[in-house]
Structure 1
Amino acid sequence: MAQLDITDAVVTIDAMGCQIAVLRQIRQQRGHYLVALKGNQGALLEEVECAFKASKAQEVSEEWEYARSRFETRTCSILSAASSIDASFIKSWSGLQTLVKIESVRY
């Protein structure tokens, strides 16, 4: 990634790329990131799950669609990382500012 000019670009990565060193490199190259968080980062995942249970989302958006003979609703909730999770996570995860939760339900 060091060969890429990612200045002011948003880099999206799946959960496998959700690593402190990867995100630090993106920030050092003056880029931004949006990553998926799953069980591979257990402590951070637990902290984020608790934050969404304990705090009211700052912003919520819901949409639905009908496709392939079924309905699907998606709800997107947003929290400020600084006011929702322990400061040690903010310090460790370079550039962490916003927590986003996507919930999907199919009928």
Structure 2
Amino acid sequence: MVTTTVADPADARRLAAAAVQARLAACVQVEAIASHYVWQGHQSEDAEWRLSCKTLTSAAPRLRAWLREQHPYEVPQLLTHAVQAEADYARWVAQHVDG
């Protein structure tokens, strides 16, 4: 799974739909979150939208590169999480991601 965050719900929807259409992710869940961080010397709290992209280990590098190109942030959060899925869900992901 690859996760990232964006500040605008329209960006979240755009990235989620495009990642699925490009077969880089089988599913992208979008959820509203509150982020606390320091950027350019200033501490901030902002609403963000987290995208959790369900993909294959073999496709994760391509998904991260694509997100980096499409992302509105100067320094986007791009995290890869190794997760273990039930076999039937893993097969479904594999059917919908170009690995």
Q: Which has the higher contact order (CA 8 A, sep 6+)?
A: 2
Fold-level similarity (TM above 0.5): no
Larger radius of gyration: 1
User: Into which bin does the TM-score normalised by the smaller protein fall?
Assistant: under 0.3
TM-score (ref. length: structure 1): 0.27
